[in-house]
A = this chain, B = another copy of it.
Amino acid sequence: STASSSGEEHHLYDEELIPPGNFTMVSTWIYRSSFPKKKNFPFLKKLGLKSILTLILEEYPEQNMKFLKANNIKLFQFGIAGNKEPFVQIPEDIICAALARNHPILIHCNKGKHRTGCLVGCLRKLQRWTHTSIFDEYRRFSCPKSRSMDQQFIELFDASQVWKLVDRDHLPKWEELDIPW
C-alpha cells in the first residue's frame, strides 16, 4: 500500500473495493444493490452518486447518513414492507425521481432482491423490454427466492402513467429509452 505523504486524501491503489451485495449497473447512471454497509463506502464513493433511493421502511442508519452528507448525496426514501405480501403500487413520482435529475442514483432495499427487483422491472418496462427478459433479470437477482407476486406486479405496472408525470427536460440519455411523444 502506498498512501500519499501530503495532507491529501489517501489513495491506496492496491486497496480492494467492495461493492454491496447484488450490486450492478442497471442502465447508465442507475445502480442497484443490497443495503450498503460501511465497508462498501469506498466503492460507492467512486460512483459519484448524486442520490440514493432506499426502499426500506426503517430509519436510515446514522453512519449511512454521515456518508451521504460527506459526499453530498441526496436521500429519497420510499419505504415498502419487505415481507411476502403483494407488492403495493409504486407511486409514479418515485419512478420519476429515479428517472430524472438525480443521476447517478443507487436504488436499494435490504437484500437487493424483491423490492429493488420490482422497481427495476418497472424501469425495464419504460425501456420496452419484453416481460420474458424482465423476469429473467428479476430472477437472476432474487434467485432462489423469486416471487410470483413480484413478477405479476411488474406485469401489471402501467408504464404509460409515468410518461404523464415525467420531467421531459431532464430524462437520462438512455439509448434504450423510447419516449411515446
A85 contacts partner chain B, Cβ-Cβ < 8 Å = no
With the chains together, A129 CA to B16 CA distance in Å?
6
Which of A23-31, A56-64, A73-81, A94-102 lies on the face that meets chain B?
A23-31
Q: Are A13 and B47 in contact (CB under 8 A)?
A: no
Contact A176 B46 (CB under 8 A): yes
A25 & B23 in contact (Cβ 8 Å cutoff): no
Question: How many angstroms between the C-alpha atoms of A19 and B27 in the bound complex?
Answer: 13
Instruction: Say whether A175 faces chain B, with CB atoms less than 8 Å apart.
Output: yes
Specify how many copies of this chain sit in the oligomer: 2
Q: Which of A44-96 contact B (CB under 8 A)?
A: 46-48
A166 → chain B closest CB, angstroms: 15
Q: Is A143 an interface residue (CB 8 A)?
A: yes
**Interface presence of A157 (CB below 8 A):** no
Chain B residue, CB-CB nearest to A39? B130
| Chain B CB within 8 A of A135 CB | no
* Contact assessment for A130 and B46 in the assembled complex, using a CB-CB cutoff below 8 Å: no
Q: Indicate if A133 sits at the interface (CB-CB under 8 A).
A: yes
Measured CB to CB, the nearest residue on chain B to A178 is B13
Q: Which residues of A contact B (CB under 8 A)?
A: 11, 13-19, 21-28, 43, 46-48, 104, 127-130, 132-133, 136-137, 140-141, 143, 175-176, 178, 180
What would 15 A/B residue contacts be, using CB atoms closer than 8 Å?
A: A13-B178, A14-B180, A17-B129, A18-B129, A21-B136, A24-B24, A24-B25, A25-B25, A25-B27, A28-B28, A43-B176, A46-B175, A46-B178, A140-B140, A140-B141
